Structure 1
Amino acid sequence: MSRRQTGFPPLVRTLIYERSAGRCERCDEWASDCEIHHRRPRGAGSTRRPETNYASNGVLLCAECHRHVESYRAKAFDDGWLVRQSHDPKARRVFRREQWVFLDDEGGWRPAPEPVEGRAS
């Protein structure tokens, strides 16, 4: 019986690192302690959904920003650092480096419209 992949494969990790240019995608600071964060969490015991380990679901965060995202989850959902299980990360904008963007599975991003007050993205 083969083990399920529980993290980003090497090629996807490379795409995420290249998109970030080695800087935290939240605060834009250089950090030696950066970690790849799953926007839509894998859940306990991993997941069978392959898109969980696509580049649109991963962001490079410094340890401080990663702790902040995990500690202030309501704000993290509002800002796109966390994505609900029922949502597609490609379709959920994220407030990356002071601008709203959509992430893609090729390791890129494109500008996203500003959120409308009082409405979720």
Structure 2
Amino acid sequence: MNRSPMPPRRTALARGPVKLSRTALARRRSARPNRQQSDLTSGHRQPAQRPQGGRTGSGWPKETRDAVQRRSGGRCEVGLLGTCTGQAANLHHRLPRRMGGTSNPAASTACNALHLCGSGTTGCHGWIEAHRAEALGRGWLLHAGQDPAVEPATIRGRFPVWLTEAGRYVGEAA
């Protein structure tokens, strides 16, 4: 198929700097009353403010994180043979937060936390995420509506114990 050549331009292309119209984003930024213009033009962002309550980026209050680390002694609390690296690296929610977080106050307590090796895809933490049905049976995961303070968890393959809000193990489950 033959195409006809492009017709000549009726107006010449602009030479030199071209003044562009402001974009919608630039209009919204300039409309914000609490930002200084120098912050917008310098390209530097203000550091994010840490949420109230001493929470870390993972959603755990510092007090809870410290209590669980003392409880575990830095060792993985699940200890699966052939999977566990032994060194606890992060905290796991027994009662999942779900997408978008949760307003349930039990979600950020020490009885809802397990100190595990690996990440959500490796080590014991990864195993729990990949084998949710078995993890539910051992108390490493809980269904919505279950209370982590009254549901026991199997710790290091021994026997089920209850986890307290103070960050301790209590008794043997019957």
Give the TM bin, normalised by the shorter chain.
Answer: 0.7 to 0.9
TM-score by length of 1: 0.85
1:37 counterpart letter in structure 2: H
Partner of 2:68: 16
1:45 correspondence with 2:100: yes
Q: Bigger radius of gyration, 1 or 2?
A: 2
TM-score by length of 2: 0.60
The SS at the match of 1:37 is: strand
The match for 2:168 among 79, 84, 108 is: 108
Identity of aligned residues (%): 32
1:30 counterpart letter in structure 2: G
RMSD, aligned CA: 2.0
More strand by share: 1
The match for 1:92 among 141, 146, 151 is: 151
Deviates more, 1:10-19 or 1:91-100: 91-100
- Structure 1: gaps spanning 5 or more residues: 115-121
The SS at the match of 2:135 is: helix
Cα deviations across residues 53-104 of structure 1 (Å, max 9, x unaligned)? 0000001010100000000000000000001111000111101022210000
Deviates more, 1:54-63 or 1:90-99: 90-99
- RCO greater where, 1 or 2, for CA within 8 Å and sep 6 or more? 1
Length, aligned pairs only: 112
| Contact 1:41–1:82 under 8 Å retained in 2 | yes
- Structure 2: gaps spanning 5 or more residues: 1-49
| Contact 1:34–1:60 under 8 Å retained in 2 | yes
> Matches of 1:72 and 1:113 in 2, distance apart?
23
The SS at the match of 1:67 is: helix
